[in-house]
Amino acid sequence: MDRAQKEEVVAELGQIFADSGVVVVAHYAGITVAEMTDFRNRMREAGGGVRVAKNKLAKIALEGQPCESMAALLEGQTVFAYSVDPVAAAKVVDNYAKDNAKLVVLGGSMGAAALDAAGVKAVAAMPSREEVIASIAACIGSPASNIAGAIGAPASNIAGILSTLEEREAA
């Protein structure tokens, strides 16, 4: 790898660290190509990405970034899993690590906050952005539906009473 390629990798990693909501660092020693492809596909489906890079280049890219403390995790064969959604990458990595013991979560970062392995697990347990939006929409729509039901209830009660009275008079 020549100097220009290294500078390109450092720039790409710097962009990943700056734009991602969460970055998870894990060891991947012993993972086969098929397993890594499966991991990449799962991450892509969740809206994230996976990047393998030399630790020295990653440390250079981390300089001056809010997540610079993550540089201490870069030992051995490391892989970066990242996503704009602050929860997606952590969920995929956590689920994949449960299925494949060869992927060992070391930690990561969420913005400027450094995460250890337990922190990544805690982030993975959080609801995703879409789930939070859905619950907020349900909370906003619930009072309106309750009001509509309350307004319509007396009318349906009166209609029921009138139909009962009609049946009595017919009998």
Phi and psi at residue 47, to the nearest 5°? 90, 20
pLDDT of 37 reads 93
pTM over 0.75: no
pLDDT of 112 reads 80
pLDDT of 153 reads 65
Residue 20: pLDDT band by 50, 70, 90 thresholds?
A: confident
Token code pair at residue 134: 């859905």
pLDDT of 71 reads 83
Half-sphere exposure of 37 (CA within 13 A, CB side): 3
Q: What is the DSSP letter of 84?
A: S
Summarised one tens digit per residue, pLDDT across range 81-134 is 999 888 888 999 999 999 888 899 998 888 888 888 888 888 888 877 777 788
What is the rounded CA–CA span in Å between residue 70 and residue 79? 13
Residue/partner pairs of 58-65 with CB below 8 Å, 24 or more apart: 58/13, 60/10, 61/9, 61/10, 61/11, 61/13, 61/14, 61/17, 62/13, 62/17, 65/14, 65/17, 65/18
Query: Between 117-125 and 88-99, two packed helices, what is the crossing angle to 10 degrees?
Result: 110
Residue 155: pLDDT band by 50, 70, 90 thresholds?
A: low
pLDDT of 116 reads 87
- Look at 18-32, 50-64, 116-130, 147-161 and tell me which has the smallest mean pLDDT: 147-161
| C-beta separation of 23 from 80 below 8 A | yes
- Tell me the average pLDDT across 27-56: 91
CB environment 58-95: b (16+ within 10 A), e (fewer) = bbbbbeebebbebbebbeeebbbbbbebbbbbbbbbbe
Q: Which helix (H) or strand (E) element contains residue 105?
A: strand 104-110
Q: What is the DSSP letter of 126?
A: S
